[in-house]
Every structure is written in structure tokens, then in C-alpha cells.
Amino acid sequence: EPEVTQTPSHQVTQMGQEVILRCVPISNHLYFYWYRQILGQKVEFLVSFYNNEISEKSEIFDDQFSVERPDGSNFTLKIRSTKLEDSAMYFCASSVNSDLGDPYEQYFGPGTRLTVT
Amino acid sequence: TQLLEQSPQFLSIQEGENLTVYCNSSSVFSSLQWYRQEPGEGPVLLVTVVTGGEVKKLKRLTFQFGDARKDSSLHITAAQPGDTGLYLCAGEPLSGGSYIPTFGRGTSLIVHP
């Protein structure tokens, strides 16, 4: 069964460093998302991406964050200068085109645990 | 204020018991999704409910969408230890004007053997 994959599973970085989190969405999906979940808290939407551009972004997704789909398979989240409070699980998700199914049915990857020290 | 309120927050039961968890909002949703999340893993989609009053069954799990599409419930019959996990509801309110998915805080379920 197709699944969303994410790398790395765990990333440790120092405050102020740049990190890039990588995701490979399900191949026929057209909508891509990033979420974060701080330990013990709820899943929070960061950004959605469709047709090679950002569709929506939350207040969390400030100028320190960017997303990119550099090729036909990868979808990346970059944090330019990490802060301690960026420590969280980051989940990538994807969903199909609305013509083929419910775009709100999102399939999540296993997550990347980001630890900023 | 939480857009999606889930209750109870925690539930600890014995194997074989039945349970219901709730997802409530003052907003109308075009659809609601239910996910189960295990520690250190991503949420796994269980079901989507779309039509007001809709009932969907997934083996021992029964999902219901309220008539007004503001609330949903998940009923588990004869719970098993494998049902242990965090149950999340999520959706996007119709009044939003944009699609920004919202998650509830979840119900943490523990089923003891």
C-alpha cells in the first residue's frame, strides 16, 4: 500500500542552524501539507501546497519557514534559523485531487522528530 | 478556544467494554476526519464523514456525523488492547473561506487486557 515517507526520522540541530526536512508524498497525490506537533500538544497545521505553490499557511509559518517541491517526488520544509521552540514532531501529509476523492482525506508520514539544542 | 473539542480527554477501560468519544464544534464542517495516532508516529486516517446524519462502520468502530455537521462521535464495541491510541478528529469549517485543517486535542484511549 502506498505511503508517505519522511527523512530523517530524528534530527538534532543547534539553535540558529538551518534544517531541511524531507518528505516523499504518495505518488498520485496533488496536495501536500506540513504539520507540527509539540510534545503533548495537538497537531498544528503549518502549510499546504498545490500546483507548485503555497495554498494556505498558518500564523506559525513565518519567514523562517519555506517549502519546496524540487522535483517530481520530494516535498521539503526548510527552517532557516532554528529556535528552541521549533523542537517538535513534523509531519508531512498528502491528499488526492478533489476530482478523484476528498482532498481532506490526508495520509500522514511517520514524522521527523526535530530537537533544537 | 478550541474549534474542535474532543471528550473525554482520557479514557481507561477494560478489554471487552464499549465506549464512545465525541468531537464537538460550534462551526459547521464540510467533512470531518477521524485519525488514530500512536506514540511517536503519524496520525492514521480511519474514516471521513461528509453527509449530515451519516453513519459509517469500520469493523467494531462506528462513526456518526451530526445532522447539523457540527459534531461527530466514535463508538467502539468490545474494545481490544489494539485499540489503544490517541483518537483525533479533524476538519475545516465551512465559514473559514480557506482550507486550514484543524485538529482536536484528541482522546487518549487505553484498553487494558
**Separation in Å, CA A65 to CA A15, A91, A93:** 15, 14, 17
The CATH number of residue A31's host domain is 2.60.40.10
**Which of the four pLDDT bands, split at 50, 70 and 90, describes residue B98?**
low
CATH number of domain containing B23: 2.60.40.10
- Position A100 scores a pLDDT of 54
Residue A114 · residue A21 · CB < 8 Å = yes
Residue B93: per-residue pLDDT: 78
Q: A60 lies in which domain range?
A: 5-96+107-116
* The predicted structure's pLDDT at residue B100: 78
Residue B9 lies in a domain: yes
Q: Is the CB of residue B9 less than 8 Å away from at least one CB of chain A?
A: no
Which one, of A79, A5, A70, lies nearest residue A36 by Cα?
A: A79
Asked if residue B110 is part of any domain, the answer here is: no
How confident is the model at residue A102, as a pLDDT? 60
Mean predicted confidence (pLDDT) in B25-34: 91
| Residues from chain A contacting residue B30 (CB–CB below 8 Å) | 104
Neighbours of A117 (CB within 10 A): 10
How does the average pLDDT of chain A come out, rounded?
91
* Mean pLDDT, chain B, integer: 92
Distance from CA of A115 to the nearest CA of B (A): 14
Closest Cα partner for A67 from A86, A43, A89, A48? A48
C-alpha cell at A41: 500538544
**Domain that residue B38 falls in:** 5-103
Specify the 3-state DSSP secondary structure of A4.
coil
The number of distinct structural domains making up chain B is 1
The verdict on residue B52 lying in a domain is: yes
Phi, psi of A86 (to 5 degrees): -80, -10
For position B75, what pLDDT does the model report?
98
More confident residue, B38 or A101: B38
Identity of the highest mean pLDDT range in A81-85, B2-6, B27-31 = A81-85
The answer to whether the CB atoms of B98 and A56 lie below 8 A apart is yes
Partner-chain residue, chosen from A33, A42, A56, that has the shortest CB–CB distance to B104? A42
Residue with cell 534559523: A81
Minimal Cα distance from A10: which residue of B?
B40
- What pLDDT was estimated at residue B104? 95
Smallest CA–CA distance, residue A16 to chain B, in Å, is 25
For residue A75, being part of any structural domain is answered with yes
Is B35 within a domain? yes
Kindly state the average pLDDT of the residues A92-99.
79
Between B20 and A31, residue with greater pLDDT: B20
Residues of A in contact with B104 (CB under 8 A): 42
Grid coordinates of B8: 473525554
User: Which A residues, 18 through 77, put their C-beta within 8 Å of a C-beta on chain B?
Assistant: 33, 41-45, 48, 55-56, 58
Q: What average pLDDT does the segment B32-48 reach? A: 93
CB contact B102 to A (< 8 Å) = yes
